[in-house]
Structure 1
Amino acid sequence: MRLSTVILPVRRWSEGGREVWQRAEELGFHAAYTYDHLSWRSFRDQAWFGALPTLTAAAAATTRLRLGTLVTSPNFRHPVTLAKELISLDDISGGRITLGIGAGGNGFDATALGQDPWEPRERADRFAEFVGLLDRMLTQDVVSYRGEHYSAHEVRNIPGCVQRPRLPFAVAATGPRGLKLAARYGQAWVTTGDPKVSNGGGTPDESREAIRGQLERLGKACADQGRDLAELRKIMLTGFTPDRPLDSVDAFVDFAGRHAELGIDELVLHWPIADSVFEADPAVFERIATEGLAQLGPAR
């Protein structure tokens, strides 16, 4: 199992922002991600910086840490401009970028460009077209395309990604159409658990059972695409289930072990932010980062 973190873009770079990303590398995290939003929930009226500039700065401030988004969505991105920025970021980082990508949802910044909220079918249609075109943009030197929602006209993306054939996609999905996209285009799959369980006051056991069902459906989607489920990494962005893995090292070890048994092979922990939904004891967090996986034992 791998352990990663997600660092929300809430700090000025000159006032601790740089040091957090460097500390993530020092602690030995596999990757450090950030949200790709214009604003988010309880942080809506607080400092919040852009994901791709933040990742570019983080790439220059680190040397080994993988970097990425969790997640980018079509809410305010276009495949043509996004592809150019990702190719540039992959080059600056020396091939350390993973694109976490999802359909997005309503609320927060979903209508920031002045569009009406998308109905579920339209959102799924847009996401499918978005992912397919972005895959082409990152693997072909010249792309022309005209779809229902996106177009490209003789767009050049030379020299392409450092990572070949392109940087990896980590596709966040739980529904059938999203899982099909993960199976077709993904090098990894992302889950946050089942919001129906968490929002409905469910238990950790019920949460794990829901994730087990998600993995079974992902396996079927992979089989339909002629792929082996083992080809995809299974990433869990924590903090959205009934569990409390950051309460102690023992709580983390139990949480990680139970999810490893399900098939999850990368856990992503939110970097602590005081006075927020992601508040946690920094000392416990650092102990988890440096000691947690070692306590799982060879069987996990």
Structure 2
Amino acid sequence: MRLSTVILPIDRWRDEGRDKWRRAEELGFHTAFTYDHLSWRTFRDGPWFGAVPTLTAAAAVTDRLRLGTLVTSPNFRHPVTLAKDLISLDDVSDGRVTLGIGAGGTGFDATALGQDPWTPRERADRFGEFVPLLDRLLTEDSVSYGGNFYSAHEARNIPGCVQRPRLPFAVAATGPRGLRLAARHGQAWVTTGDPKLYETGTPEQSVQAMRGQIGKLADACAEIGRDVAELDKILLTGFTPDRGRPLESLDAFVDFAGRHAELGFTDIVIHWPIPGSDFAADPKVFERIAMEAAAQLR
């Protein structure tokens, strides 16, 4: 099992931002992700920087650490412009980028451009066009396409990604349409668990729900003749009934991660501690988990 982290883009680069990304590499994390939002929940009225510039800066101060979004969505992105940004980021990082991508939600991003929030069906419809078009844009030199929601006219993306045939997609999905996209286009699949269990569920119910999600992912893969084992399976923590308890001690984390490894998860992602937030944690415990947990989980 691999251990990764999420660094929220809330710090000025020359204050704490740069140091966190460098420290993530020093601690041995496999990947450091950031959220791709315009603002997010309780952080809305504080500093919040753009994901692509942040990751580009992180690429310049690290050498081995993989970098990624967790996750990008159609809420304020267009496949043509996003593809250009991703190819550039993949080049700057020398092929260290993973695109986490999902259908988006109903938060601040959903209305920031002045639109009404989309229904779940509308989000799924757009996602169903967004992912295949982005796949083409990142693998073909020139793309023309006319869909219900997105269009491209001779969009050029030369020289393409450093990673071939393109940078990997980690598709966040739990519904049938999203899981089919993950099966067809994903190199990884992402979940936060079952959001209906966050407030009143138990850790045992959460594990059962994720077992069911992986089973549905396997079914979606089987429909197209793909082995579900080909996809990495990523759990973004902090949104299950356990909440912050796995970060209370090394033993608590190893127990949590071990239970999810048994389900088939290949990657666990933990949030970089932010005092006074839902992601508050003891920095010393966090660093100990980063340095020691992976060896115990082997």
TM-score, normalised to structure 2's length?
Answer: 0.99
Q: Give the total of aligned pairs.
A: 296
Aligned counterpart, 1:263: 264
Is residue 293 from structure 1 mapped to residue 289 from structure 2 by the alignment?
A: no
Paired position in structure 2 for 1:240: 239
Aligned residue number for residue 34 of structure 2: 34
- Once the two structures are TM-superposed, the CA of residue 295 in structure 1 deviates from its matched residue by 1.8
Show the counterpart of 2:173.
Answer: 173
Paired position in structure 2 for 1:219: 218
- Which residue of the partner structure matches residue 196 of structure 1? 196
Task: Write the distance in 1 (CA, Å) between the matches of 2:152 and 2:114.
Answer: 22
Alignment-derived partner of residue 276 in structure 1: 277
| Whole-angstrom distance in 2 between the partners of 1:62 and 1:117 | 37
- State the alpha-carbon separation in 2 of the partners of residues 165 and 215 from structure 1: 26
SS in 1 for 2:215: helix
Q: How far 1:31 sits from its partner (Å)?
A: 0.3
Once residues 119 and 284 of structure 2 are traced to their aligned partners in structure 1, the CA distance between those partners, rounded to angstroms, is 43
Q: CA RMSD in A?
A: 0.6
2-structure distance, mates of 1:64, 1:106: 35
* Secondary structure at 1:109 match in 2: helix
Q: Which residue of 2 aligns with 1:132?
A: 132
CA drift at 1:108 = 1.8
Structure 1: gaps spanning 5 or more residues:
none
Q: List structure 1 runs of 4+ shifted beyond 2 angstroms.
A: none
Cα distance in structure 1, aligned partners of 2:193 and 2:84? 32
Distance 1:104 1:254 in 2: 31
In the TM superposition, what is the alpha-carbon distance from 1:40 to its structure 2 partner?
0.3
2:31 and 2:6 mapped to 1: Cα distance? 8
- State the AA in 2 paired with 1:233: D
Per-residue deviation, 1:117: 1.0
> Take 2:84 and 2:107, find their aligned partners in 1: how far apart are those partners?
27
Post-superposition offset of 1:225: 1.4
Residues 70-85 of structure 1: pairs in structure 2 closer than 5 A: 70-85=70-85
CA drift of 1:10 comes to 0.4
Amino acid at match of 1:195: P
By how many angstroms is 1:242 displaced?
1.3
Aligned equivalents of 2:277, 2:40: Cα separation in 1:
12
Distance 1:119 1:273 in 2: 32
Deviation at 1:204, TM superposition (A): 0.4
What SS does structure 2 have at the residue aligned with 1:16? helix
1:119 to partner: Cα distance: 1.3
Q: How far does residue 116 in structure 1 lie from its aligned partner after superposition?
A: 1.1
Structure 2 unaligned blocks of 5 or more? none
Cα distance, 1:216 vs. partner?
Answer: 0.2
Shift of 1:289: 0.3
Matched residues in 1 for 2:117 and 2:71: separation? 19
TM-superposed deviation, 1:41:
0.4
C-alpha displacement of 1:189: 0.1
**The residue matched to 1:105 in structure 2 has which SS?**
coil
Give the corresponding residue for 1:183.
183
Which residue of structure 2 lines up, in the alignment, with residue 11 of structure 1?
11
Give CA-to-partner distance per residue, 1:117-172, whole Å, 9 cap, x none.
11111110100100010000000000000000000001110000000000000000
Distance 2:171 2:263 in 1: 18
2:15 and 2:191 map into 1 onto residues whose CA distance is: 32
Counterparts of 2:120 and 2:193, CA distance in 1 = 19
Query: Percent same amino acid at aligned positions?
Result: 77
SS in 2 for 1:68: strand
The Cα shift of 1:193 comes to 0.4
Distance 2:205 2:150 in 1: 39
SS in structure 1 of the partner of residue 135 of structure 2: helix
CA-to-partner distance for each residue in 1:215-240, whole Å, 9 max, x for gaps?
00000000001100000000000000
